[in-house]
Structure formats: structure tokens, C-alpha cells
Amino acid sequence: MKFYTRRIPVYSSSFPVKGYSWASLPDGAVVVDLGGSDSHIVRLISEKNPGVRVIVQDVLSVAGEARATVQAESHAVGFHNDDFFTPQTIVADVYLFRWVLHDWSNEYVVKTLRQLVPALRRGAKVVVNESLCPDSVALLILTERYIQYMDLMILAINKPRPRDKGELHALFVEVDERFGPVKCWTLEGVALAIIEVTWEGV
């Protein structure tokens, strides 16, 4: 993943680090990166915000290899062997999905998000960092076309539906009506939006 994102500016890994208010989290806050692979993103988050505890959740074959690499490099990252389709057992302040949900159809996105509900506490955030069907006014034409091209590729391979803000809101409501409104933002020329949804239940 780093190989590609370093060569395509609109997919820079700096945006989820700089584009979200990680510094506003209290000391000891827990961030879980679901499908976090080699922990590249949460390591960057941890370096900028040392008071935040970061954990990567991924399948055993991925998490095991990444754990060995991170331990060798002395990074403070926790690992948990798990997949998206089992109930969440870690109570966290933020659950991060970066470039993950776009791979799945609505049915499986709902199933994935529903697994979070048992662990959610009031005020917990679900943060999604992925392509959002663009507003032509908000993005450069080149970036918009690139996002639409990627949507078509994903659609051809996995048959998920390209999603806009309204569709994402509908998915979260289908999961549980205790999710709050969908908030999203991006920067000019950046292909991956930040999407934030707050759990308003108890």
C-alpha cells in the first residue's frame, strides 16, 4: 500500500493523520485500525500523538507478520487477530477503516459495522477514510475523474455500490439508529475523504 500511496499524491497517507483531530483525543484514548495491515497509518498517528494508544485488528496471517516487523522497529502498536465479521471486543474511542469498506457490498458493510455495536460507548467515533462520490465544486476535475475511475474498477471486480454521503448515512442508520449524522470533509486534490460518525447511544 505504501508503494502506491507515495507515488499518487491524491492518496497520500498524510491526510488521515493531518486531516483528523487526533490531538483532541484525551491521553490514553484507544484507536483501533480495522484491517490496518502493516500498521503504517496508526504508527504515523502514534508518532504525532504519543498519548494515544493504537491497535491494529487484522486476520492472523497479516497481523502476525506486521507484529514481528513493528516489534523489531520498536513501535508502540498493539495487534489483535480478528476479522470484520465477528463481534468487536475492544472498547475504543475511535474505530478507523481506511480504504476498506469500498471493497465490500452494502450487505457486508452493514454486517461489518454491526459488529462494532456491542463495544460502542457514547461518544465513540467511527472514522472512515476512503473515496466518496465527489461534489464537482469541491474537488479538482482530475481528482474527481480519478475517483470515478476507481469506483468503476471496484464495481467491476466486487460489485459494491459507489457511495455518497447520503448512502453512507443510510447504511449507518440501517446498522443502528443510534449512530449520529455522517460528517465528511476532504482537501482539494485529495481523493480519500474523512468520514466521521458518532455513536449517540449509551
Q: Which amino acids are annotated catalytic?
A: 102
Segment holding 129, helix H or strand E: strand 125-131
CB 40 within 8 A of CB 98: no
Which 3 state secondary structure label does DSSP give 96? strand
- Whether the Cβ atoms of residue 195 and residue 164 lie closer than 8 Å to each other: no
Beta bridge partners of 77: 54
CB atoms within 10 A of CB 167: 14
Give yes or no for a contact between 5 and 27, defined as CB atoms under 8 angstroms apart: no
- 123-143 burial, b for 16+ CB within 10 Å, e for fewer? ebbbbbbbbbbbeeeebeeeb
Among candidate residues 49, 130, 65, 51, the one with its CA nearest the CA of residue 96: 130
